[in-house]
Amino acid sequence: MNIIVSANKEILVDISEIIDTLNPQQREAATALRSNVLVLAGAGSGKTRTMVHRIAYLITTGQAHWHQILAVTFTNKAANELKHRVAKLLPQQQQSNLWTGTFHSICHKLLRIHSKECQLNDHFQVIDTDEQIRIIKKIHKKMQLDDKQWPHKKTLHHINAQKEHGMRAQDCYDESTVYLKTISELYQSYEKYCKTEHLVDFTELMLAVCELLESNESIRWRYQKQFKHILIDEFQDTNTLQYRLIKNLTGSEQCIFAVGDDDQSIYSWRGARVDHMFAFEKDFSPVTTVKLEQNYRSTKAILDAANHVIRNNEHRLAKSLWTDSEVGEKIKLYSAYNEIDEAQFVCEQIQTLRDDVRLQECAILYRSNAQSRIFEEKLSHMGIAYRVYGGLRFFDRSEIKDILAYLRLVANPDDNLAFERVVNLPPRGVGKVTLDKIRSYSLEHTCSLWQSLQIMLETQKSESLHQFTHIIEQAHTYRGNLQELITHIIDGSNIKAYWKNQKNIQADSKIENIDELVNAAKSYESQEPDYDPLSEFLSNVVLDQNREQMTQSDQVQLMTLHASKGLEFQYVFLVGVEEDLFPHKMTHADPAQVEEERRLCYVGMTRARTQLYISYAETRRQFGQEHYQRPSRFIQEIPQDALESIRLGNAQTAYPTQSNNAYHFKLGQTVFHKKFGEGIVLNYEEDGDNSRVHVRFSQAGAKWLLCAYANLANHPVT
C-alpha cells in the first residue's frame, strides 16, 4: 500500500486507489514518466479514465503541481468532465490553477496575459462567426463586390483556411489572376479591420499565440518550463495550427501525453490531420506507445464485426478491440425495398423495444442530414418521441423553411410573414428602400404586402420584383402536383445555385435537404377528387411541428454519424448503408476519403452496446427519381457468419388490420391496376376507409393510392 500523507500526518490519498482500479495497459499509460507517451485508445477503452488517473497520479506522487499540468480537450464539456472526475478522485485536495480547456480557451487565457506583446489592448474582443460575416459584408460593400459572385461565407472560409495553415495575408498574397488578387485583398482588409478594432476571431486566438511563442524566446521558455506535463485528448483531430502550438509549448524536459485513435479520425473536412498520429513518434522522440484495446462498451459480436471493417484501411496504427463481456446477438441486417420500408422497419423495431428499454437508448445514425426526414415522419406518425441530436429537425432547417415560405405564399398570397422571408431570397437585389415602400403602402391602404407589390409594379419597373411575382404566379399551374410545384420553386428562385456558390460543407448538406424535400412531396399523390396536395402538405408540416412529443425527456436519438462520436447507446440502427450514400459518392475518387468513410462506419458500429442493426434500401428516391441501390462495401467487409439477415415483408402481411375495411398487402407483392398496369407494393398505411398503399408501377412510376378507390387486383386486369 502506497499512502501519501500531509505534514501533520493526515492521510491524503492512497495511491493504490488511483492505479489499482486500472487495467494493465491503462496503468502503464497513467504512470509512464520517462518519455513522451502516445496512447492508442480504441473506442470504449476508457481513455478519459486513463487521463484522469494520470493527472491524479502526477499530483499525488509529487511529479507535478496543479499549475504545471496542461490538459487540452476538444470541447468545454470534456474539459469540465475532466476537472470533475479529478476532483472526485482527489477529494482532499483543492484544485489550484489547473490549466484545463480547449485549444481556444487555453489560447484566450494566454492572450489575455500577453495582450501587449501581441499588440492588443487589454479589452480586446473575441468575435464569433456571425460577427466575422458582418465585417466581411462591410468590406465587400466598400470594395463594391457583387454578393452573388463573392458570397460572404466563401470569403470567410478562405480567410479561416489560410489562418489554420498559419498564413497571414502578406504570406499568401497572389495577384496572378483577378480572383486571387481580389481574395488576397479581402484577407488584407479583414486583417487590417480586426487589428484596428482589436478584434480576435477563434482561429486568430491560436495563430497569435503561435506567433508569440515563436517570436519571443523568453515567453516560450517560461511556458515550456512551467508545463512539465502536457496532455492532449482526441489527438487524431488536431489540425495544422494546433499541432504547431503543441510543438511550440514543448521543450526538452517535458512529457507529452497524447491520447487518440486514428481509427476514429473523421474530421478531415474541418482540417483534422490523422497523419499527426503517425508523425508523433518522430517529432516527439523518445516515445512510449501504449495500446488500449479492451473495450468496456460493446458485445464481442459487435467488436469483431467492427474490427473486420476497419482492417481494410491500409493507413492505420494496428490494434484490435476485444472484450471479456458476452458474445451477444449477431448484427441484424435488413434489406429494405425502399427508404420508406427501411424507416417503417426501424420504427417498428423501436416500438417493440420501448417496453424493455428507454427510448433514449435507441439511436438512428445516418450519413447525411437529409436522411432524417423519413424517420422523423414515421416516428411522428407512430407517436414515438424523438430528438435530432446536434441539429434541427428536418422541417426546422432554414433552407427548408425558405421553400415552405414560398409554398405558403402560393397557397395564400396574403401571408405577409412568408412574403417578408422570400421576397429577396435568394438575394435578387430588392433593397431596403423598395421594401419600405411596399410596407408603407400596405399599412396605408390596409392590404397585404403581395397586393401592395402588384399595385406598385403597375407604375414602376423592377426586373427583380417582376421575376419574383412570376415565380409565384406560375406556381399556381403546378398546384395539382406537389413535386412539380416544389421543383418549380427551386428552379425559378435559383436557390440551389445560390447554395452551390457558397462552396462549403454546410452548403452541400443544405442542397441534399432541398432534394429530400422534393422526395417528400412524392408522398402527396392521390386519385381522390378535390384533393389539394399543397394544403395537405402544409397542414401536416404544421401539425408535426407542434406535437407535444418534443417536450418529453425520453426520446429516440437521431443524428449523423459524425455527431455520434463520443456517444453510446444500447441499440443502434445504422441506416442507408449503400454505395454512393455511405461511402458517399463524392469520396470514391480519393482512396484517403474512402478510408475516412470506413472510419466513420467503424465509429457508428462501435456506438452500440447491446445490439447493432444495419439496413439498406434496394431502391431510394433521390433528386425526385427512383434509383436502384447497391449494398455498401462496408457490409461486404463484415463476415457473413456475423450477420443475421431479416426481411419481415416476405414472411408476413406488412401491416395487418382488424377493421372490416382492412386491405391486406405484403411488401414486395405484385398487384395490378386498371390504368397503371403492373406494380410492386412498397408500403401500406392502414387508416380504415382512408387506408392507402404505395405502389411502384412499371410504366407510371411510384404512386400513393387510396385503397377504397384503387381497386388493386392480385392478377392482371382484363
Annotated binding site for ATP: 41-48
Residue 383 · residue 374 · CB < 8 Å:
no
CA 52, CA 89: separation in Å to the nearest integer?
Answer: 8
Longest dimension (CA), the chain: 101
- Residues whose CB is less than 8 angstroms from the CB of residue 3 and which lie 6 or more positions away in sequence, other chains included: 11, 13, 14, 15
Closest CA to 427 of 415, 436, 438, 435: 435
Residue 303 · residue 639 · CB < 8 Å:
no
Residue 228 · residue 66 · CB < 8 Å:
no
- How far apart, in Å, are the Cα atoms of 224 and each of 99, 227, 592? 14, 6, 35
Q: How does DSSP assign 558-585, residue by residue? A: EEEHHHHTT--EEEEEE---BTBBTTBG
Q: Is 130 exposed, middle or buried (0-12, 13-18, 19+ CB in 10 A)?
A: exposed
Place of cell 423501436: 350
Closest CA to 396 of 280, 546, 266: 546
Residue 539 · residue 312 · CB < 8 Å:
no
Neighbours of 264 (CB within 10 A): 22
CA 98, CA 83: separation in Å to the nearest integer?
Answer: 9
Residue 130 main-chain phi, psi, to 5 deg:
-60, -40
CA 118, CA 110: separation in Å to the nearest integer?
Answer: 10
Q: Is 238 exposed, middle or buried (0-12, 13-18, 19+ CB in 10 A)?
A: buried
Residues marked as binding? 41-48
- Residue 50 carries which side chain, given as an amino acid letter? T
Residue 645 main-chain phi, psi, to 5 deg:
-80, 135
**DSSP H/E element including 444:** helix 432-445
CA 16, CA 276: separation in Å to the nearest integer?
Answer: 34
CA 608, CA 363: separation in Å to the nearest integer?
Answer: 9
Is residue 323 helix, strand or coil?
Answer: coil
Catalytic machinery residues: 47-48, 233-234, 264, 607
Residue 626 · residue 345 · CB < 8 Å:
no
Q: How does DSSP assign 47-72, residue by residue? A: HHHHHHHHHHHHHHTTS--GGGEEEE
Characterise 708 by phi-psi region: left (phi > 0), alpha (psi -120 to 50), beta (else): alpha
C-alpha cell at 269: 473536412
Neighbours of 167 (CB within 10 A): 15
Closest CA to 632 of 641, 624, 643: 643
CA 526, CA 703: separation in Å to the nearest integer?
Answer: 8
Measured in residues, the chain has a length of 718
